[in-house]
Structure 1
Amino acid sequence: MKKHFIFIFLLSSIIAINAQKTEEKIELETTLISPKKITKIKEGHYFIDFGRAFFGNVQLKSTVAQKEPLTFQLGEKLKSELQIDDNPGKNIRYQKVTLEHLQKNKVTTVKLVPYKRNTTGAAILLPESLGAIIPFRYLEIENLKIPIEALEIQQKAVHYKFNDNASYFSSSNVVLDSLYDMFKHTIKATSFTGFYVDGDRERIPYEADAYINQLSHYSVDSEYTMGRRTNEYFIKNPTWPTEWLLHTVLMFHADYMYTGDLEPLKKYYDALKLKTLMDLEGSDGLISSKSSNLTDELMAQLGFEKGDKQISDIIDWPPGQKDTGWKLARPEGERDGYEIVDTNTVVNAFYYINLKLMSEIAEHLGKKEDALLFKNKAIITKKAINDKFFDTTKGVYVDGIGSSHSSLHANMFPLAFDLVPTEHIKSVTSFIKSRGMACSVYGSQFLLEGLYKNNEALYATGLITNTTGDRNWWNMIRVGSTMAMEAWDVKYKPNADWNHAWGTAPLNAIIRHMWGIQPKTPGYKVATIKPQLDNLTFTKIKVPTIIGSILAEFEVNPKKEVLFSFEIPSGMMAEFIIPQHFKNVSFNDVTINGDQSILKLDSGKHTIKGNY
């Protein structure tokens, strides 16, 4: 088996921006991957498995010439054990192409046919010199007249720069390990444009996709230029869903927390103020996309062009079949029956977190008046949400003003954004748990966030590791994908593709919530480590930061004695939050006071022992 080879090119990527085209040189890498397995089907017909899907092409080099044409089939999905599915689904990729001949000792790539939807319009375009590429794992070669041994066959994978050794995770749970590996690969493989795009169907950046992509990317690699580039793209290239726009501030704030770089916040501060949609605020402190303040002038200020689609609330995707016309396995779609009223809970939960984060951003920039303004607005909005959307009789949130319906979404977003008063957390989390996975792979990001932040780690980890049915991440592996899928299954979204980074919520949840490793202060000068690992007996992890890598291990022996080991990089201090049920704690072999809840870990190695 040959080793992988990496070639780096400076490729001129033509980016479609509001019908205008701007050139930017983006450094992409091409990795040549040898087959994991080659199987002879019959004379001249071979089946090749490269192990994982990548966006790319097939590269060939032969020591013997062949004059006769060869047929190649490339695909993501199998029909049977050694047969590529030639009708895999609307956006699951398959192509059959012909190569007229093979020249001796000449490097050749097959000529793939581009898909119109992801190579025109607002799609992020690849350089013409690269040619068309598709995501594929499998290859079939037919009519091969020369010995297979004479042919060097490689998967020519295209991706952005990525350090495979920057991170790792392993544990006593094989499902967690498998999902981590698949989703880390997803982050690398879907980077093929140099932007966070939605997947292969459109190859367009969308804010909601990009936010989850960013959290997962920053959790496994200390490479931030692609996130920065994507964030800047959204300033002038917003998308139409109300809540998608409301992810913009979240992305800029996350970048600052991970990098400590204020420049993007300084440069785009005024644009970020607009992206909060505070211009749509009514006298009650709540916003509505139906507001008369949503004028053509405001749309233009937000980055839309004349004639663009008006913004509207989306809640989750896809909506029901009455909206799409699709025949869905769940006719209600992924909204859990959410009633989209003019002034609704999810949109205003997003508005609140935007105000809260903008207050922090303004404070960091020394804009004290603005910081106070946003802080006061957040207080007013939080009160309005709890006064107008919370049903005290049922102990849960309704979908909005005028609605009596309570959905998963109306409750999980307030929980994720710290809107739920302490006295109501129990009833809200109980309701959320009663709904199960009644949201999309996108919505699951916020479902997991809310659960982990509110002492429901066992349930949240159970959702991640669930292997029953098809509304879970394990189903993505079960059906044969090697990347996160756009939906739980194609039957839940008939035009779904098999390469959507917005499906990687468990990846960043493992780092940010199970292990609880996050930046407490900008640039990771101070890290927070709040582990919630109760259902594991062993795990180790490497988390990259802009300062250096955090290394950690956790082990429970048969006597329920627990050992944590940490290595904190130079220039960082970490705060370890002692689990509430952790007893008889010693820190670096020194017994600590039972009332102590936080341990300060300076740069270097540390051990923490205790028992459950």
Structure 2
Amino acid sequence: MTYGGPALESGTVYYWAVRVWDEAGKPSEWSEPACWETGLRHADDWQASWIRRPEDGSFQRGQFTYVRRPLTIETEIDRARAYVSASHQYELSVNGTQVDRGPSFSYPDYQYYKTVSLTDALVTGENAVGALVHWSGEGQGRPAAEPGFICQIELRFADGTERTVVTDGSWLVRTAEWREDAPLRNDEIAEPVERIDGRAEPNGWSEPGFDTETWEAAAVVGTHPTEPWTRLVAQNCDVVRSPVEPASIDHLGSGSYVVDFGRIYAGIPAVRFEAGDDGHRVKLKAGYRRDDDGTVAETDGTQWTDMSYEYVQPEGEGWFRPFNSLGIRYLQIDDPGESLDTDQVRLLTRRNSVPDTGAATFESANETVDSVFELARHSALYGCQEQFVDTPTREKGQFLLDAFNISQTTTHAFAERRLTRKAIAEFIRSHYRYWACEGRLNAVYPNGDGKRDIPEFTVSFPEWVWQYYRISGDRQTLDVAYPVVQSVAAYVERHVDGDTGLVMHLSGGDNSCYEEGIIDWPPEMRYGYDRDWAARTTVNVLCAGALGRAADIAAALDRPECEQAHYRDRRRDLRDAIDAHLRRGDRYVDGCDAADASTSTSQHASALPLAFDLVPKAHVDTVADRVAADGMKMGPMTVRWLLGALATADRPEAVVDLVTDAETDGWANILAQGGTFTWESWRCRDPSLPADHRHNRSESHAMGSTVLVSILRTLLGVRPDGIAGEHVEIRPPATGLTSASGQMPTERGTVEVAWTHEANETPADSPKFRLETTIPWNTSATVALPTRERDATVTADGEPIQSGMRATALADGITSVQDGKRFEVDLTSGTYRFAVE
């Protein structure tokens, strides 16, 4: 539904209520009022200036700065809002309490700002408002910019008067206690190793009455908009922080302490020293593993990232609190100068804010499947920060295919929508910023290294847009994305060879190991895929998928029939070319050219055509046999297509085998090796290699969390269909598990399912099956019960709905019964209990 009322004003609270009409046209009562508010919607709404420390124009990377001002309020506050932004991030404090952190990273010509409520933080009388601002410098996920901070506080008082407080030359600034000559943690992100002098911390700096005699006046860059910040855009997603207590703390013989937080989180460590010795230097380091002597490994598992810290103690009590987060399980504290206990250490975990209710759950008779589900859930949750991140440790950039994979998990697991919508919009902007004439998108965005693409990432974008639309119903995003999807389709069509009909030499990833197609990543996850061909099978399949999704989006947007038909026809042509040139009976070769073809038949080459419904029906079973027999020969980046292939061929037992095999590559093997977060490569800890030859890959890489979606869809059997949860199919597996229960959130509510296969003692007897499900309001459902017995008795809520081959009276809510390969029942909203005997 599109809003058609009066134009919305800036900085205003709006209230709304809804009611619905039944099939007879009778309206319901009005709902309880809800509200939303608008931010500063136009450039001329801003009166605040961008400010920073006085500089000579040569900005030091890793700059930390305090800004503050006193604020006297003489009457009762009715409402207070701060509209605030920084390059790159801030922590906002009022009267000694931190009230917010942000914003998301972006380019200064599309800078995010946040709206923060200060109604409860400000008091009548003397107040102080301030921020700790960190400017990183350019890197992965951090575009080039300049240091700057802006804040506009809008106050409305109980007597109806109003007041605006803005950043300007009256604000004071001071260099923070971080050393600015520290090295960067690695060559990917613009974060310094945090070396903090606790003696220089201005305790109480954001409290009223603090002595600012040594502070200096802020330098005013200009009233917004001013170069380089030409646009401010409201940020509609947020990061939440919560403390995690140590699972254990060990005192080593060397005098060091090692804290274990139980599993890897994205977070910020904090240590309270009770009896500091003035000037005493404490070295700390975070990590993922421990060496044989119990210390935290410096490089193993960290991707050569310097995860050390240094803290210079003040006399007496002092808090070590760094600014930036890392992926952390262990924290080593060397020579703290006192005995440490668990109550002195914590980890402030951070993640994107998602709805607290209705999140997906899963429990089954197979403990390994359950553990893999939790591994994926945890990984996806902490792979979401201000943006989807490659990893919270080495590369904090938002890579397109990583983001797509994590988004698939979060939208199904947590009903997450805002971060996905924001990410899709950002990659759309990458197209217009860098690739408008070439039909591509950036591989990582935002970023500090400019124009950079990977072919498969570009051609996967239409699939992401379509999947998000189906689960959310967000037509506006679909509409905005469609011109970019058209450009991607044109990019594909330009590379179709006139003789073979295949996509050849798909341009992109120039002069790198990504050129003409990445296949999988890291390289060892290609499992020997033969890339030395003009037409690569996986690239062609993804291109066919892009053309198909262009047709689907065109249809959803009611585009002209000729436009829809064009994309459908091009997909069909590419599908036929793939079958003619790349399939060899029950398998697909890795690639070909006009004269010859590869003799290599990787799992990638066969799984993707199956997942994208490109395999002729007569060959689906034999191709699926081939794919299943290969076990795990695809990496975490592409494994979603392997799982999709097995689901397409209805092989739930193969999915269970893939998920639970702890002896070979996969999630169970990660768990068996002590992993607590999905990995970038199945072989992070390859025991067949000596330690000095192992790949030092990321052990906190959420792109492999897509297994959660397959567990819900294939093993729990909940498959959202239609648009925005309007219809759901419940298809529990006939093999693989004996029971499962859980729930999945949809746009219209939570679908709940619990089912059990109960085998009778006599093998010749038919198995029993029980299923209970709850379908939310305004949702229809089809339940496909796993039985092919023509003489089965099926009951709903204890009443027979089929006995033998004869249908009986239908229970309430059941609209039809079908007898095909499965016993299918169409339902409306409600709770139902089925049994098959």
| SS class of match (2:620) | helix
C-alpha displacement of 1:488: 0.4
| Residues 591 and 356 (structure 1), Cα distance of their counterparts in 2 relative to 1, 3 Å cut | farther
Single out whichever of 419-428 and 193-202 deviates more from structure 2. 193-202
Out of 220, 243, 267, the position equivalent to 2:413 is: 220
C-alpha displacement of 1:524: 0.7
Structure 2 residue 770 is the aligned partner of structure 1 residue 577: no
Out of 350, 362, 365, the position equivalent to 2:557 is: 365
Mapping of residues 333-344 of structure 1, within 5 Å: 334-344=526-536
The alignment yields a C-alpha RMSD, in angstroms, of 3.0
Aligned to 2:537: 345
C-alpha displacement of 1:404: 4.0
CA distance in 1, matches of 2:623, 2:769: 32
C-alpha displacement of 1:204: 2.4
C-alpha displacement of 1:151: 5.2
C-alpha displacement of 1:20: 5.6
| Residues 204 and 63 (structure 1), Cα distance of their counterparts in 2 relative to 1, 3 Å cut | closer
Aligned to 2:475: 262
CA distance in 1, matches of 2:101, 2:830: 38
Specify the code of the residue in structure 2 equivalent to 1:265: L
Out of 335, 338, 342, the position equivalent to 1:143 is: 335
C-alpha displacement of 1:196: 4.5
TM-score of the pair, normalised by structure 2: 0.62
TM-score of the pair, normalised by structure 1: 0.84
Instruction: Verify the 8 A CA contact 1:76 1:93 in the aligned structure 2.
Output: no
C-alpha displacement of 1:484: 0.4
Structure 2 residue 694 is the aligned partner of structure 1 residue 490: no
Specify the code of the residue in structure 1 equivalent to 2:550: M
1:21-63 C-alpha deviation (Å, 9 max, x unpaired):
5776452112111112233445954332211211222113355
Instruction: Verify the 8 A CA contact 1:93 1:134 in the aligned structure 2.
Output: no
Mapping of residues 152-301 of structure 1, within 5 Å: 152-163=344-355, 165=357, 166-197=359-390, 200-235=393-428, 236=430, 237-239=441-443, 240-276=453-489, 277-283=492-498, 286-290=501-505
CA distance in 1, matches of 2:777, 2:548: 31
Specify the code of the residue in structure 2 equivalent to 1:420: V
CA distance in 2, matches of 1:417, 1:267: 25
Stretches of 4+ aligned residues off by more than 4 angstroms: 16-26, 62-66, 102-107, 306-311, 580-583
C-alpha displacement of 1:433: 2.7
Mapping of residues 449-598 of structure 1, within 5 Å: 449-469=644-664, 471-490=665-684, 494-532=695-733, 534-557=735-758, 559=760, 560-581=767-788, 583-593=792-802, 595=819, 597-598=823-824
C-alpha displacement of 1:410: 1.5
| Residues 311 and 404 (structure 1), Cα distance of their counterparts in 2 relative to 1, 3 Å cut | closer
Instruction: Verify the 8 A CA contact 1:8 1:30 in the aligned structure 2.
Output: no
| SS class of match (1:38) | strand
CA distance in 2, matches of 1:266, 1:526: 23
Instruction: Verify the 8 A CA contact 2:754 2:771 in the aligned structure 1.
Output: yes
Single out whichever of 14-23 and 79-88 deviates more from structure 2. 14-23
Instruction: Verify the 8 A CA contact 2:142 2:397 in the aligned structure 1.
Output: no
Out of 614, 639, 644, the position equivalent to 1:444 is: 639
| Residues 96 and 546 (structure 1), Cα distance of their counterparts in 2 relative to 1, 3 Å cut | same
CA distance in 2, matches of 1:256, 1:7: 37
| Residues 540 and 80 (structure 1), Cα distance of their counterparts in 2 relative to 1, 3 Å cut | farther
Instruction: Verify the 8 A CA contact 1:336 1:439 in the aligned structure 2.
Output: no
| SS class of match (1:79) | coil
CA distance in 2, matches of 1:215, 1:581: 33
Instruction: Verify the 8 A CA contact 2:360 2:745 in the aligned structure 1.
Output: yes
| SS class of match (1:268) | helix
CA distance in 2, matches of 1:34, 1:556: 41
C-alpha displacement of 1:214: 1.4
Aligned to 2:217: none
- Of structures 1 and 2, the larger Rg is shown by 2
Instruction: Verify the 8 A CA contact 2:411 2:417 in the aligned structure 1.
Output: yes
CA distance in 2, matches of 1:566, 1:187: 26
Greater RCO (Cα-Cα under 8 Å, separation 6 or more):
1
Instruction: Verify the 8 A CA contact 2:404 2:464 in the aligned structure 1.
Output: yes
CA distance in 2, matches of 1:205, 1:398: 32
| SS class of match (1:609) | strand
Structure 2 residue 590 is the aligned partner of structure 1 residue 399: yes
C-alpha displacement of 1:536: 2.2
Instruction: Verify the 8 A CA contact 2:105 2:142 in the aligned structure 1.
Output: no
Single out whichever of 559-568 and 86-95 deviates more from structure 2. 86-95
Aligned to 1:378: 571
- Kindly, what percent of the aligned residue pairs are identical? 20
| Residues 101 and 588 (structure 1), Cα distance of their counterparts in 2 relative to 1, 3 Å cut | same
Single out whichever of 246-255 and 354-363 deviates more from structure 2. 354-363
CA distance in 2, matches of 1:350, 1:97: 44
Aligned to 1:606: 832
Aligned to 1:53: 264
CA distance in 2, matches of 1:63, 1:49: 21
| SS class of match (1:372) | helix
Instruction: Verify the 8 A CA contact 1:160 1:192 in the aligned structure 2.
Output: yes
CA distance in 2, matches of 1:167, 1:37: 30
Question: Which structure shows the higher helix fraction?
Answer: 1
Aligned to 2:604: 409
| Residues 396 and 97 (structure 1), Cα distance of their counterparts in 2 relative to 1, 3 Å cut | closer
| Residues 196 and 93 (structure 1), Cα distance of their counterparts in 2 relative to 1, 3 Å cut | closer
C-alpha displacement of 1:97: 2.8
CA distance in 2, matches of 1:443, 1:521: 25
| Residues 145 and 448 (structure 1), Cα distance of their counterparts in 2 relative to 1, 3 Å cut | same
Aligned to 1:86: 298
What stretches of structure 2 of length at least 5 have no aligned partner?
Answer: 1-96, 108-140, 146-228, 431-440, 444-452, 687-693, 761-766, 806-818
| SS class of match (1:158) | strand
What stretches of structure 1 of length at least 5 have no aligned partner?
Answer: 1-5, 111-130, 321-332
Instruction: Verify the 8 A CA contact 1:335 1:409 in the aligned structure 2.
Output: no
CA distance in 2, matches of 1:181, 1:190: 14
C-alpha displacement of 1:182: 1.3
Aligned to 1:32: 243
Specify the code of the residue in structure 2 equivalent to 1:268: A
| SS class of match (1:245) | helix
Specify the code of the residue in structure 2 equivalent to 1:567: T
1:256-289 C-alpha deviation (Å, 9 max, x unpaired):
0110111111112111111232332344684435
C-alpha displacement of 1:585: 2.7
Instruction: Verify the 8 A CA contact 1:75 1:94 in the aligned structure 2.
Output: no
C-alpha displacement of 1:249: 0.5
Structure 2 residue 519 is the aligned partner of structure 1 residue 315: yes
Specify the code of the residue in structure 2 equivalent to 1:366: D
| SS class of match (1:83) | coil
| SS class of match (2:535) | coil
CA distance in 1, matches of 2:572, 2:550: 13
Instruction: Verify the 8 A CA contact 1:537 1:555 in the aligned structure 2.
Output: yes
CA distance in 1, matches of 2:342, 2:390: 38
Matched pairs, number: 560
Instruction: Verify the 8 A CA contact 2:302 2:699 in the aligned structure 1.
Output: no
Instruction: Verify the 8 A CA contact 2:288 2:301 in the aligned structure 1.
Output: no
Instruction: Verify the 8 A CA contact 1:63 1:151 in the aligned structure 2.
Output: no
Aligned to 1:125: none
